[in-house]
Structure formats: C-alpha cells, structure tokens
Amino acid sequence: MMEKMIFGRYVPADSVIHKMDSRSKLIIIFLFVCVIFLANNAVTYALIGIYTFFMLGMSRIPIRFLYGGLKPVLWLVLFTLVLQLFFTKEGALLVSWGPVKIYEEGLKMGIFISLRFFFLILMTSLLTLTTTPIEITDGLETLLNPLKKVKFPVHEMALMMSISLRFIPTLMQETDKIMKAQIARGVEFASGPFKERIKAVIPLLIPLFVSSFKRAEELAIAMEARGYRGGEGRTKYRQLSWHLADSLQLVLLGMLTILLFLLRS
C-alpha cells in the first residue's frame, strides 16, 4: 500500500552521485533552488531540464521506480498547471469555451511554473534517494557550523532532522500495518463516500499518534541511557571527504548558471 512511496528513501547503488560528498550535494540543491528562478523562457527551461535529467541519469536510479514513486506528486504538478491556466488573465485569448477562458500568458505561466515545480521535486528526491539520512545530517551540520557563533542550535537541528528522516520508513510500515488491521475490521479506506473516507482516517491516525509518542519516549530514554548529552565535545565516526567530482559538479552548476544568465530574456 505505502510501499511505493519514495520520499526520504535511500536507494543504494554504485554511481557518481552516490559517491559525492553530502556537503556538495546539499550546496548544489540549495543553489539549484535559487538558480531555477533565473529561467524565464523556453531555452532556459530546456537547459534546466537537460541538467536535471543528466543528474538523474548519472544517479542510476531506475526511471520506472522514480515514476511510480512520484506519481502522486505529478497530480500536484498538474493541479498547478490547471490553476495557472484558469486564473491568469493576460495576453491573447486562446480558447473561449463558455465560462472557461484560457489566455496565452496563462498557458505559458502554467507550463513554466509546473515545470519548475517538477524539476525541483526531481532534484530534491535525487538528494534523498542517493544520500543516506545520516550523510545528509552530517553534511548539514558541518555546513551550518558557523551559525554556532550566533548560538544557533546546529547540532540539535541536525539530530532532529536525522531522527525524522530515520523514522519515515518506520512510520510507513506502522501505517501499513494498522491500515491492514483496520481494513480487517471492516474499514474502507479506498472506497465509499467522501465523508466516510474522512472518518476512516481516525482509526488510523490515533494509533499512529499513540505509537509515535511511545516511540519518542523510548528513544529519549535509550539515548540518555547511552550517555547522550548534546553535541558538546562529540567526535565523528564518519568523516566527510571532498573529492574532485564534488568540485566538478559545482563547476557544472556554475556553468549552468552563467548560461542561464546569458540566455534568459
């Protein structure tokens, strides 16, 4: 049921992207999110598309798997498209069909915004698919380290993040299990009138909440029992290492940025 979900899931493989330093991946994602807003015409969007799919290709994540996992999000992308299509009223009128009017600007904006959304989702999924949660947090912690000077709780933030990433699959499993138990007791999650379906969520959510609280408490006790007392003086077992490939990736993104500046209208 939930087994197709790919968010926060790591797919082990032997690829260039997998081997990259998590710091460089994080920097690239962060920059990518900014750079993507430079695109404002067909050529620049195409460039970003090529870049995204190039990265995907290098990661060796099977496209079919990616497609299966992203299907629910694709609906969201489609929804953005439709929203833009109907609510932007600028440019030449393209289609007039009763009360439905589609304008040129609307079509353009719709396609561009949903494409931007789509590429963002692909790139961010790529990060979690190719990087273990622990690598991500380690990378984030090192990158944010300077913020410690202004008393920002970097270590605690990183820990919180790694805990939430770590428990995504666990919660999925739990959800699946409780869903099945309630289906066996006659609940219908996937069919029936809308009101009934909303009501059906209660027998799922309450047990999930209860077990999450329990789990949180157990985890806290286990951490204390093993002498956890925050990040002070804590050393690292896993050392991050920056390679040539990481620098090259950054250069590649830099080149993309320059191209975008030159080609945007």
Partner 1 sequence: MDISLQHIDYRYQANTPFERLAIEDVSIDIPSGTYMAIIGHTGSGKSTVLQHLNALLQPSKGTVKIGDREIKAQQKNKNLKQVRQKVGIVFQFPEHQLFEETVEKDIIFGPLNFGVSEPVAKERARKALKQVGLAEEILEKSPFDLSGGQMRRVAIAGVLAMEPDVIVLDEPTAGLDPRGRKEIMDMFYALHKDRNLSTILVTHSMEDAARYADQIVIMQQGKVVNQGTPEEIFSSPVELVKMGLDVPEVVRFQLKLEEKTGMKLGKIYLSIEELSSAVTEALSRGVRS
Given the rule CB under 8 A, which residues bind partner 1?
A: 3-4, 11, 13, 61-62, 64-65, 68-69, 174, 177-178, 180-188, 191, 202-203, 206-207, 210-211
**Smallest distance from the beta carbon of 32 to partner 1, in angstroms?**
25
CA neighbor of 113 nearest in space, from 178, 45, 188, 177: 45
Smallest distance from the beta carbon of 66 to partner 1, in angstroms?
Answer: 10
Q: How far is the CB of 51 from partner 1 (least distance, A)?
A: 24
Nearest approach in angstroms of CB 191 to partner 1 is 8
Distance of closest approach, residue 74 Cβ to partner 1, in angstroms: 17
How far, in Å, CA of 121 to CA of 140, rounded? 19
Residue 210 CB, shortest distance to partner 1, in Å, is: 7
Comparison of 40 and 182: residue with beta carbon closer to partner 1:
182
Are 23 and 142 spatial neighbours (Cβ–Cβ below 8 Å)? yes
d(CA 194, CA 261): 48
- Identify the three-state secondary structure at position 97: strand
Residue 133 or 139 with smaller CB distance to partner 1: 133
- Residue whose CB is less far from partner 1, 182 or 257: 182
Q: Nearest to residue 264, comparing CAs of 36, 53, 12?
A: 36
Separation of alpha carbons 26 and 85, rounded Å: 33
Residue recorded with tokens 């190719």:
130
37 Cβ contact partners less than 8 Å away, ≥ 6 residues apart: 116
The H or E element that residue 100 is part of is strand 100-103
The pair of three-digit structure tokens given for residue 117, joined into one six-digit string? 């959304």
State how far the alpha carbon of 153 is from the alpha carbons of 146, 147, 150, 156, 158, in Å.
Answer: 11, 8, 9, 5, 9
Nearer to partner 1, 42 or 221 (CB): 221
Beta carbon nearer to partner 1, 180 or 238: 180
Q: With respect to partner 1, which residue has the nearer C-beta, 156 or 218?
A: 218
Nearer to partner 1, 191 or 265 (CB): 191
Q: Please, what is the minimum distance in Å from the beta carbon of residue 230 to partner 1?
A: 32
Q: What are phi and psi of 263, to 5 degrees?
A: -95, -10
CA atoms of 60 and 122, how far apart (whole Å): 14
